């Protein structure tokens, strides 16, 4: 997605060794008009997949999942990562490792919101080691629903998350794929 | 907002003494078409206030803040509640007490995303004791920006958060106001 690459080049800031911050439009401050374009792009890619539900994970996935869900005309469910005493007790849950924080956390979705008849598109902001996306895949499958694909805004192809998912036969589409982050340059995989 | 009241009555579930769960459309599974109506309603209420930015707080505020921001045509910034090593160090921050979890947490917004020239609309899903909203008001004001109002989806008027904010002269608009939660009944104010 050319407009996304341009936005990353214009507004992203590099933190070596491997971080590109896009908090001016994607995951802290949000440019909703641009997110709408992102949502449309996911629909262009997965619109033929008979998606019945979008699944994402808090917090950064929520805005993107919503932007996509509007184009698909389906509900979005976000997995919860933090304790919440008002959460259903009857949940699907999965343990996910965070390399960023070097810790494990448990992500949960209330069972009511996933059905074996669902065809799910998993959406997230970044794909690096793939722990979150793989966790969501396991959680969705544990409900009996089908994972129709994974849609990612920014994939870092120098980490192996995308490879791991594709090796499982999962369709992964990333709107921008970063091959390398250098001191003052982001290099995209064309 | 009549459609919201109907949705709460149809889909909400009561957990005594004071919880109404609306996780089928607002804060776990999200009905984006309905959220769009909510966003439009906030624009009807605050569209004349020259809003330049929406501020909300993760996680439940994000989808609602985005839905509103689309109608205002302004960016939305969500305060972060959880440690994140990629966060700017130069932040506005405020300590907020959570009655639900009986603990304090620190909410942060990168300084880059609030400017003294901003007129801010604060958006959140629930207003009960008002700790989160009051914290956001303090944080926005500490930047020099003006708080033009607070927009809430569901206010519980039997708790005092709304009163506290209004006593400070802040314009608070809630799309549904719950006066009382009984065993099998939600009673709205007027």
pLDDT digit string, tens, across residues A24-52: 999 999 999 999 999 999 999 999 999 99
pLDDT of B190 above 90: no
Chain A nearest CA to B31, separation (Å): 5
In this prediction, residue A100 carries a pLDDT of: 79
Q: A134: closest CA among A167, A104, A179, A165? A: A165
Residue A109 C-alpha from the chain's centroid = 15
In this prediction, residue B106 carries a pLDDT of: 97
In this prediction, residue B188 carries a pLDDT of: 98
Q: B174: closest CA among B18, B16, B38? A: B38
- Calculated CA dihedral for residues B149, B67, B128, B80, nearest 10 degrees: -90
Which residues of chain B does A69 touch, with a Cβ-Cβ cutoff of 8 Å? 30, 32
CB-facing half-sphere around the CA of A182: CA atoms within 13 A: 5
Inter-chain contact A32–B66, Cβ cutoff 8 Å? yes
In this prediction, residue A85 carries a pLDDT of: 80
Q: How far apart are alpha carbons A41 and A175 in whole angstroms?
A: 8
Inter-chain contact B78–A30, Cβ cutoff 8 Å? yes
Q: What is the pLDDT of residues B17-42, one digit of tens each?
A: 999 999 999 999 999 999 999 999 99
CB-facing half-sphere around the CA of A174: CA atoms within 13 A: 24
pLDDT of A3 above 90: yes
Which residues of chain A does B154 touch, with a Cβ-Cβ cutoff of 8 Å? none
Chain A nearest CA to B112, separation (Å): 9
**What residue of A is the nearest CA neighbor of B53?**
A29
Inter-chain contact B66–A66, Cβ cutoff 8 Å? yes
Chain B nearest CA to A117, separation (Å): 17
Q: What is the ipTM score, two decimals? A: 0.96
Q: How far apart are alpha carbons A172 and A170 in whole angstroms?
A: 6
Chain B nearest CA to A40, separation (Å): 14
Which residues of chain B does A78 touch, with a Cβ-Cβ cutoff of 8 Å? 28, 30, 59
**What residue of B is the nearest CA neighbor of A18?**
B86
Which residues of chain B does A28 touch, with a Cβ-Cβ cutoff of 8 Å? 77-78, 80, 87, 109-110, 113
- B23, B31, B59 ranked by CB distance to A62: nearest: B59
Q: What is the mean pLDDT of chain B?
A: 96
Task: Provide the number of structural domains found in chain B.
Answer: 1
Q: How far apart are alpha carbons B66 and A69 in whole angstroms?
A: 13
In this prediction, residue A102 carries a pLDDT of: 87
- A58, A85, A86 ranked by CB distance to B59: nearest: A58
Residue B133 C-alpha from the chain's centroid = 7
Question: Poorest-confidence range of B102-106, B154-158, B169-173?
Answer: B102-106
Kindly state the tokens that stand for B32. 């984006």
Q: What is the pLDDT of residues A110-153, one digit of tens each?
A: 999 999 999 999 999 999 999 999 999 999 999 999 999 999 99
Which residues of chain B does A59 touch, with a Cβ-Cβ cutoff of 8 Å? 58-59, 62, 78, 80, 82
- Calculated CA dihedral for residues B170, B172, B178, B179, nearest 10 degrees: 40
Question: What CATH number has the domain bearing residue B118?
Answer: 3.40.50.2020
Which residues of chain B does A33 touch, with a Cβ-Cβ cutoff of 8 Å? 70, 73
Q: What is the pLDDT of residues A60-92, one digit of tens each?
A: 999 999 999 999 999 999 999 988 888 889 999
Which residues of chain B does A89 touch, with a Cβ-Cβ cutoff of 8 Å? none
Confidence bin at A93 (pLDDT 50/70/90): very high
Inter-chain contact A76–B100, Cβ cutoff 8 Å? no
Q: What is the mean predicted confidence (pLDDT) over B80-103?
A: 90
Inter-chain contact A29–B76, Cβ cutoff 8 Å? yes
Q: How far apart are alpha carbons A177 and A155 in whole angstroms?
A: 5
Inter-chain contact A66–B67, Cβ cutoff 8 Å? yes
Longest dimension (CA), chain A: 48
Q: What is the pLDDT of residues B58-84, one digit of tens each?
A: 999 999 999 999 999 999 999 999 888
Inter-chain contact A77–B101, Cβ cutoff 8 Å? no
**What residue of B is the nearest CA neighbor of A14?**
B86
pLDDT of A182 above 90: yes
Q: Which of B19, B20, B27, B29 to mutate to test the interface with A (most CBs of A within 10 A)?
A: B29
In order of A85, A141, A153, the CA distances from B154 in angstroms are 18, 34, 32
Q: A5: closest CA among A127, A150, A178? A: A178
Q: Buried (b) or exposed (e) across A28-43, using 16+ Cβ within 10 A?
A: bbbbbebbbebbbbbb
In this prediction, residue B83 carries a pLDDT of: 81
**Which range marks the domain in which residue B166 is found?**
2-188
Q: What is the pLDDT of residues B108-167, one digit of tens each?
A: 999 999 999 999 999 999 999 999 999 999 999 999 999 999 999 999 999 999 999 999
């Amino acid at each position: 997605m050319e407009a996304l690459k341009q936005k990353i080049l214009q507004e992203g800031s590099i933190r070596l060794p491997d971080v590109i911050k896009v908090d001016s439009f994607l995951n802290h401050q949000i440019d909703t008009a641009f997110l709408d374009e992102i949502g449309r792009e996911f629909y262009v890619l997965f619109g033929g997949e008979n998606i019945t539900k979008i699944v994402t994970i808090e917090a950064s996935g929520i805005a993107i999942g919503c932007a996509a869900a509007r184009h698909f005309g389906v509900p979005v469910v976000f997995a919860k990562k933090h304790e919440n005493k008002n959460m259903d007790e009857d949940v699907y849950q999965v343990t996910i490792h965070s390399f960023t924080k070097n810790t494990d956390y448990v992500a949960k979705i209330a069972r009511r919101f996933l059905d074996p008849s669902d065809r799910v598109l998993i959406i997230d902001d970044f794909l690096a080691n793939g722990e979150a996306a793989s966790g969501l895949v396991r959680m969705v499958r544990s409900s009996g629903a089908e994972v129709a694909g994974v849609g990612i805004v920014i994939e870092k192809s120098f980490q192996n998350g995308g490879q791991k998912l594709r090796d499982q036969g999962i369709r992964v589409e990333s709107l921008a794929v970063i091959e390398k982050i250098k001191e003052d340059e982001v290099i995209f995989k064309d």
